């Protein structure tokens, strides 16, 4: 069993914000996997099939680790089978990067996960939301996607799906990371 987590904030006020990009990806993956019903457990909404649990923590971004650690423990999922998907201001809109481990890089949700799991050794998918330097950071990440930005995110979702399918088929994650990270290199 593999746990794929999309980070975001619960509630209608955050639904279309850049910071909820992880939730957008989880909903897309659930649709592609044909998993329709959401379930609730450990302050999280999740979809489950025989291969994956797709999780949207409802603890708010900065406490995401609480929900994730509960799922890992309850379902006896090894840390190596965890993938966390989240927004990244350091990447241009629509660019994405896989990593097999690393620091939080200033992302408070990831920082909380590292603290509670007591490890930086889990897979990540960072998806660029860019940054308007004229806008305060908090306002930028909690701001809604513009129509043009939504279209760019919709454009990359099939490529993200391809990589998840490769992982599902048992392909080596580092190979997937190398192949897909090369595809998203800036021009």
**pLDDT tens track, the chain, 187 positions:** 999 999 999 999 999 999 999 999 999 999 998 887 789 999 999 999 888 899 999 999 999 999 999 999 999 999 999 999 999 999 999 899 898 888 888 788 999 999 999 999 999 999 999 988 889 999 999 999 999 999 999 999 998 898 888 887 776 788 888 877 765 544 3
Helix (H) or strand (E) run with residue 97 in it? strand 96-99
Q: Are 55 and 67 within 8 A, CB to CB?
A: yes
Domains of the chain (ranges, CATH numbers) = 2-183 (3.40.50.1470)
Structure tokens belonging to residue 107:
């992302």
Sign of CA pseudo-dihedral 63, 67, 73, 76? negative
Q: Are 63 and 112 within 8 A, CB to CB?
A: yes
Q: What is the pTM of this model?
A: 0.92
d(CA 151, CA 181) in angstroms, rounded, equals 21
Active site amino acids: 19
Report CA dihedral (34, 40, 42, 47) to the nearest 10 degrees: 0
């Amino acid at each position: 069993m593999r746990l794929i987590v999309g980070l975001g904030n619960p509630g209608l006020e955050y639904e279309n914000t850049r910071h909820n990009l992880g939730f957008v990806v989880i909903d897309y993956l659930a649709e592609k996997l044909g998993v329709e019903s959401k379930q609730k457990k450990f302050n999280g909404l999740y979809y489950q099939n025989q291969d994956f649990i797709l999780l949207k923590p409802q603890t708010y971004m900065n406490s995401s680790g609480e929900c994730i650690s509960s799922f890992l423990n309850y379902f006896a999922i090894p840390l190596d089978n965890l993938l966390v998907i989240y927004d990244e201001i350091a990447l241009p809109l629509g660019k994405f990067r896989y990593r097999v481990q690393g620091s939080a890089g200033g992302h408070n949700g990831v920082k909380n996960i590292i603290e509670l799991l007591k490890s930086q050794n889990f897979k990540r998918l960072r998806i660029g939301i860019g940054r308007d330097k004229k806008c305060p950071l908090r306002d930028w990440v909690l701001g809604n996607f513009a129509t043009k930005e939504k279209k760019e995110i919709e454009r990359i979702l099939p490529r993200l799906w391809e990589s998840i399918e490769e992982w599902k088929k048992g392909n080596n994650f580092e190979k997937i990371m190398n192949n897909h990270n090369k595809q998203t290199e800036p021009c």
